[in-house]
Amino acid sequence: MKFRPLQSFVPLLALLLAATLAPRFASAGAVLDRVRAQGSVRVCIWPDYYGITFRNPRTEQLTGIDIDLSAALAGDLKLRIEYVDSSFATLVADLRGDRCDVAMFAVGMLPQRMEQLRFTQPYMHSDIYAVSTKSNAVVKTWEDIDKPGVQVAVQAGTFMEPVMAQSLRHAQLVTVRPPNTRERELESGRVDVFMTDYPYSRRLLDNADWARLISPSRPFHVMPYAYAVRPGDDAWLAVMDDFVRRIKADGRLAAAGQKHGLGEIVSR
């Protein structure tokens, strides 16, 4: 199988996009002043992101690296924290529509997102992985994925969707939208495999004895993850970027990564 991954982009692109977009959003309000005045910061999360911002369906308790780190942010700023349910499909609208002040759920720095949002420096990174069933006789290795007749699922709104749409040449891409889930489509046999990132793959490996993780035979499409804010408030972006810098330097990022099984993908 010969995938043609999207061309990797570098931090310089983020700077160029920021310089281009800043004048367009110069009239945006000062988030930092408002959160201080209100005494709280609104954090967008995706509550189905295992290891990142996951809400236990039984207990309603939130767990994950970005639950811990958002609490650290609120503590550093001496603010209360308010969580706002979001998703990758609604991320841009939620930030630009002022539903939250920052998105903290391992947001991939896709070029199309960078055109509409502002990002901190990356704090994690992940390649794309495949998940199939142990009983699936069609897909056993990475090279089995892009073949005629293979059904490959991706979650709508995730960075896997555009990457796989461009990369697949023979297999059929299946975009899964709520209330359907990739796991349900896979278990039912409607798809042969679904594509995900390292954090989400942990959910299957930790909880489903039927799942098999398939790693790429070589780096396929490594994506940097960062925190996102809406354009127009450089002071607030600077606060968030400085927070990422500090948690890298003081060890809080590394400790949270190890706690949630993500130590391999945290940025140094």
* Residues 192 and 66 grouped into a single domain: no
- Are 145 and 185 within one domain? yes
pTM: 0.78
Is 135 part of a structural domain of the chain?
yes
Report how many domains make up the chain.
2
Mapping DSSP onto H, E and C, the string for the chain reads CCCCCCCCCCHHHHHHHHHHHHHHHCCCCCHHHHHHHHCEEEEEECCEECCCEEECCCCCCEECHHHHHHHHHHHHHCCEEEEEECCCCCHHHHHHCCCCCEEEEEEECCHHHHCCCEECCCCEEECEEEEEECCCCCCCCHHHCCCCCCEEEEECCCCHHHHHHHHCCCCEEEEECCCCCHHHHHHHCCCCEEEEEHHHHHHHHHHCCCEEEECCCCCCCCEEEEEEECCCCHHHHHHHHHHHHHHHHCCHHHHHHHHCCCHHHECC
pLDDT > 80? residue 41: yes
Residues 187 and 201 in one domain: yes
Mean pLDDT, range 234-253, rounded to an integer: 97
Kindly report, residue by residue over 101-122, the tens digit of the pLDDT: 999 999 999 999 999 999 999 9
Residues 38 and 168 in one domain: no
Whether residue 141 sits in one domain with residue 18:
no
Which CATH number covers residue 43? 3.40.190.10
Q: Could you give phi then psi for residue 60, rounded to 5 degrees?
A: 70, 5
Judged against a pLDDT cut of 60, whether residue 75 lies above it is answered with yes
Report the alpha-carbon distance of residue 100 to residue 81 in Å, rounded: 11
In terms of residue numbers, what domain contains 82? 11-125+224-265
- Indicate whether 90 belongs to any domain: yes
Considering the domain architecture, whether residues 108 and 194 belong to the same structural domain is answered as no
Provide the mean pLDDT of the chain. 89
101 and 142 share one domain: no
Residues 155-177 have a mean pLDDT of 94
Residues 142 and 189 in one domain: yes
**Both 253 and 165 in a single domain?**
no
The per-residue pLDDT for 139 is 96
Least confident of 18-22, 30-34, 35-39, 112-116: 18-22
